[in-house]
Amino acid sequence: MIVKINERIYYEYLCDNKQIVRVQYDNTKKNRAVDITFQQSIHTLYSSVTKKSKKYSNIRWIWSEDFDGKGTLRDNRNKILAENCVKQ
């Protein structure tokens, strides 16, 4: 599902175990930062450069989206919180 509200685009990803990750992009910032919502927690993550995927991180979470469209959310200890996330 894609929703646009006040220059922000919201994508919902459905992951394994029917988990939902919501990714909110701000069009005015050229996707340098995103807000990730997972299990009623919201964190702002900032982009980093990789060859394999789009990657956003902060001190708690890492969100990566492969070029095949699948996303993965990990914590700062590299534990997978949600995987095989696909845009709805």
Residue 35 sits in which domain range?
Answer: 2-87
State the amino acid at position 30 in one-letter form.
K
> What's the domain count of the chain?
1
**Entry pTM:** 0.83
pLDDT of residue 60: 96
Which stretch of DSSP H or E encloses residue 70? strand 70-75
- Whichever domain contains 32, its CATH number is 2.40.128.200
- Bridge partner list, 34: 25, 45
Tens of pLDDT, residues 2-15? 555 556 788 999 99
Tens of pLDDT, residues 26-62? 766 565 889 999 999 999 999 887 787 889 999 999 9
